[in-house]
Amino acid sequence: MRALPLAAALAILPMPLAAQGQAAAAPPAPPRDTTPPGAYFGVTEYRLAREKLTLDTDTRGFTVYIIGDMEGLASVVRNATEMRPVDRGGTPQHERFRQELTDEVNAVIAGARAAGATQFIVNEGHGGTLFRNVLPDELDPAAILIRGYPKPIVMSTGLNPRVDAMMIVGAHANAGSPGVISHSFAFDSFTVNGRQLNETGIAAFIGGEMGIPMILAAGDDALTSETREMLGPLETVTVKTVFSGSAAAALSPARVHGLLRAAAARAVRRARAGQLRPLVLEKPYHVRLCLRRGYVRDDWVRTTVGRLPGMADGGSPGCFAYTTSSAEEVGNLLNEIEWTVLKP
């Protein structure tokens, strides 16, 4: 074998330990953004958002407020590939499911319109792209679209008493439930007056105080089952049957769209007939929430959340209590916590 030149031979020798350590060292983390929620316009201005959207809400017909999440869409099973865009560590598959979200929202709009609904407000409810998932150019042109971040009360932004009914598509099961990508905001548990609520239930709670019923929820079988138990006999569409947190037997998107159209029409007819009632809980509202374990281990997050106005110790590490007579204030509190945990 021919001998290697000296420079080439040196190039293949092991690096000195100090140099190896330098090569493997991770770059320093950027400084944490500690801007408090009240210091950034648009985080806590829930009253202003309600007042502004009220001006756009038509009282002459039947207005439906539609929340679009993504984990409960047809065929979605994996958060890391389907729920995140490339620029946030995901894959190009996310674009396909942006289309699915838009198609499912359009399906419920079509069904609701067939039953007499006249106005449609669509609120982006999925934070994987900071609430920019629906394809605006392909959304039903009659819809008003709320998108972007920050926005007050992320899943109920601008909700007001002129709205006649709420719907949610792409919804997921509660934290701790055996559902696909199940979770609930930044919490492992969230209760009002001892009543466990998932994200759909929290939106129904906020709307219920305004007299607005949640009339349709679509997602996997874990979501539809637990939501009927929380809210009563609203219309539901089961788009997939859970096998694990990242596997399910899924219906085809085309079939799901047909089911959504039919269910939305039934839901509007039932709501107009007074058969679907708002969720009303007794005041004052005694809220207890426990942060996700990962946030509990983060001293800064845990301490910052504990210092939010009105927050009291909940009796366990990372658990807090809050009492109010305003469901909107509860939504604002959730938004302040989301602001805290969504920032690096």
Q: What three-state secondary structure class fits 25?
A: coil
Q: Could you give the C-alpha distances from 294 to 29, 88, 107, 306, 314, in angstroms and in order?
A: 18, 19, 37, 15, 17
94 is catalytic: no
Q: Per DSSP, which regions of the chain are E strands?
A: 63-68, 119-124, 143-146, 165-171, 187-192, 195-196, 214-220, 235-244, 247-250, 285-291, 312-313, 319-324
Mention every residue, 6+ apart, whose C-beta is less than 8 A from residue 321. 286, 287, 288, 311, 312, 313, 314, 315
Catalytic pick from 94, 126, 172, 183?
A: 183
Half-sphere exposure of 292 (CA within 13 A, CB side): 15
Coil, strand or helix at 315 = coil
Single-letter residue type at 247:
A
Distance CA 158, CA 54 (A): 7
Cite the active site residues.
183
